[in-house]
Amino acid sequence: MIEIRPAQHRGTANFDWLFSRHTFSFGNYYDPQQSGFSDLLVINDDIVQAGKGFNTHPHRDMEIFTYVIDGALAHKDSMGTGSAIKAGDVQLMSAGTGITHSEFNHSQTELVHFLQIWLVPDKKGVQPRYQQSHFSQAEKQGRLQLIISPDGTEKSLSVYQDVRVYAGCFNGDEQAQLTLVGNRYAYVHIVRGVLTVNGTVLNEGDGARIRNESLITLQQGQNAEVLVFDLRPNEQPEH
C-alpha cells in the first residue's frame, strides 16, 4: 500500500531569510496526522538566503542529517567541527548527550537548498559525533546508493537506529528496485523531478508512506532525485 503525501499539503514557514516546507509537524506547523513515520520524525525542505542561516542552537538525543541539493552550507558545532557541506554531500550528526551548532549559507550571493532530516535514535545518552561524506552523481545515477545505515557499510554514514537511507537519480529508462524484508515500512521523498514509484507518479516534494509491500520499484524518471528510507514497521516515532 502506498499513501501519498502531496508536496502542496506540507506545512510552510516563510521568513525574510528562510523558506521552509515541512513534510511532518515541526515548529509552528502541527498536524496530528503528520507526526512522522516509523523512526522518521522530520523532513524539512529549506531554502536559505545568501549569507543567512540558523544561529547557534542546541540538540539532544536525535540523529540529524543534512542532504544538500544546491549550493553549500557552512556548519560549526560545539565538538569543534567546522565544514562546508556542498551539493552531493551528506552530513550526519548524532546529538547524543547534547551539542550546539549553527548552519549558515556558505555563499554571500547564492541561495542554498537542502533537506534536514531527523531520525529518532535507538539509544539515548551516546557520545555526540559528526560524520560527512560525498556521493557523486555517478554513484547515484540509475541506482539506489546507500548513504546511511546502522553499520556504515558501502561508504554510508553510521546511524544509531535500524534504518537505511538510499539516494538515487533516475532519468528515462533507468530503474531500480529495493526489496523490503520482514514486513518493513518505507518512506519515499522526491527531492526533484518526477518519478514513478510502484506505479504511482510522484512529483518534486511529494512523499509516500509504503506499507505491506515487499518490493519498491522506481522507474520513468524525469530528471528525478529521490531519497528512500527502509524503516521499522512502526507508525509513529517514539521519542
Domain that holds residue 195: 2-231
Residue 108 has pLDDT above 90, yes or no: no
- The residue written with cell numbers 562546508 in the block is 84
Output the pLDDT for position 226. 98
What distances in angstroms separate CA 105 from CA 23, 34, 55, 71, 130, one per listed residue? 22, 28, 11, 8, 19
Is residue 86 assigned to a domain?
yes
- 30 belongs to a structural domain: yes
- Give the rounded distance of the alpha carbon of 78 from its chain centre: 23
Tell me, yes or no, whether 163 lies in a domain.
Answer: yes
CATH at residue 212 = 2.60.120.10
Model confidence pTM above 0.85? yes
| The pLDDT of residue 76 | 73
pLDDT above 90 for 63: yes
When comparing pLDDT for 76 and 192, which is higher? Answer: 192
Taking the C-alpha atoms of residue 226 and residue 169, their distance in angstroms, rounded to an integer, is 6
Looking at residues 185-204, what average pLDDT do you find? 98
In this structure, is residue 95 part of a structural domain? yes
Confidence of residue 91 (pLDDT cuts 50, 70, 90): very high
Q: Is 238 a domain residue?
A: no
Q: Is residue 51 part of a domain?
A: yes
Cα–Cα distance between 202 and 119 in angstroms, integer? 23
Domains identified in the chain, total number: 1
Grid coordinates representing 129? 559525533
Position 56 pLDDT exceeds 80: no
Contact (Cβ atoms closer than 8 angstroms) between residue 228 and residue 190: no
Of 102-116, 157-171, 224-238, give the lowest mean pLDDT range. 102-116
Percentage of residues of the chain with pLDDT beyond 90: 78
Cα maximum dimension of the chain: 48
How much is the pLDDT for 100?
A: 83
**Residue 151 has which C-alpha cell?**
553499520
pLDDT at 9: 97
54 pLDDT above the threshold of 80 = no
pLDDT of residue 65: 93
Q: Kindly state whether residue 236 falls inside one of the protein's structural domains.
A: no
The pLDDT mean for the chain works out to 93
* Residue 239 lies inside a defined structural domain of this protein: no
pLDDT score of 217 = 98
Mean pLDDT of 133-157: 96
